[in-house]
Amino acid sequence: MTALLETRNVTKVFGGGPFHRGSSVTALNNLSLTIEDEPPTITAIVGESGSGKTTFARLILGLANPTSGEVRYRGVNLRQLDRDQRRQFLRDVQVIFQDPYEVYNPFYKIDHVLEEPIANFRLAESKAHGRELIVDALTTVGLRPEETLGRYPHQLSGGQRQRIMVARALLVRPRVIIADEPVSMIDASLRATVIESLRDLNRQFGISLIYITHDLTTAYQLSENIVVLYQGAVSEVGDVERVVKEPEHPYTRLLIGSIPRPDPKHPWGIKDNVPDTIDKSVGWQKGCYFANRCPEVMKICREKIPPLYQTAPHRATACHLYNESPVVESETLNKIFIARS
């Protein structure tokens, strides 16, 4: 069965070539991920700045082209979609962007961004029906239509604006929504409401989610499976419960250890081997990208890039510490994912 949306060995390299001084940067290195029509899943792509997660978002949405590899929608390369296919693509794949300010055209009231998909995709039979759809969508995300419709973006809070964007994506009834850091620009106390809305989209409407973020906590709250990226490559992947509770990769451990828990009795911190300096040493590098910062680095780490070792039925780690485990055969990460119980 053809997958709904998939990235096949996508790699994105910036720079290089005769007009760029300095070497090239591999933003994303050979990532293969599949999203099927059924069943609806929630996958988190987690990484810090420079991890490649933003690049991944742009590639899978067709906003950028991979240097090598392909992004396919129902078997067709995104670059080769004809008009009808492109229309279908937009019906099936929707997005929520990070910035709740810039996503609104300041000229229009927020109604505009909800009316547009109804008009363009002909989702309603009449104006009244369209209005009904909008009211429903807003209520589903926990907003009161009478308090939001008719307002200009600047009259609403960041959380409200972002929830309207969730409602917008919902209107189209896509099969999958790519959410690119949807809560990072919202106050911590308001994030819960947006995350709730996203969870509802999955539970109630059977929409798959790709949740891209640097915030492991919300990733844990929302998703079933997680892909941890470091400098463009996958460092750990699998069942989010296991990965977060028992992290295997030293980087994942560092990441989790650095999260400040809202609990004074639970102190944070893991001793990082090397403090943050000009750690831009990526690109063409032998060995594991994390070697210079890894507290458990071994000789082989600087010689050979670690493959993904499958350490359990539903997890894999790209670290030589686990080289006793079998190397993951398939390139598609989904083979490791756990299905929702």
Binding site for another protein (CB under 8 A): 48-49, 63, 87, 90, 94-95, 97, 99, 102-108, 113, 116-117, 120-121, 157-160, 165, 168, 187-196, 199, 214-218, 220-221, 241, 244, 254-256, 258-264, 267-269, 272, 275-280
Q: Which is nearer to another protein, 57 or 319 (CB)?
A: 57
d(CA 97, CA 244): 25
Q: How far is the CB of 102 from another protein (least distance, A)?
A: 4
Q: How far is the CB of 327 from another protein (least distance, A)?
A: 28
Q: How far is the CB of 103 from another protein (least distance, A)?
A: 5
Q: Which is nearer to another protein, 17 or 267 (CB)?
A: 267
Q: How far is the CB of 7 from another protein (least distance, A)?
A: 18
Angle at 40 between CA 311 and CA 187, to 5 degrees: 85
For residue 316, the 8-state DSSP code is E
Q: Which is nearer to another protein, 276 or 324 (CB)?
A: 276
Q: How far is the CB of 197 from another protein (least distance, A)?
A: 9
Is the sign of the CA dihedral 60, 62, 68, 72 positive or negative? Answer: positive
SS3 78: helix
Q: Which is nearer to another protein, 95 or 333 (CB)?
A: 95
Question: If you write DSSP's letter for every residue of 203-238 in order, what string do you get?
Answer: HHH--EEEEEES-HHHHHHH-SEEEEEETTEEEEEE
For residue 216 the two structure tokens come to 């492991």
Which secondary structure element, helix H or strand E, spans residue 119, and what is its range? helix 111-120
Q: Which is nearer to another protein, 191 or 249 (CB)?
A: 191
Q: Which is nearer to another protein, 11 or 238 (CB)?
A: 238
Q: How far is the CB of 215 from another protein (least distance, A)?
A: 8
Q: What share of the chain is helix, strand, coil (3-state, %, to 5)?
A: 35, 20, 45
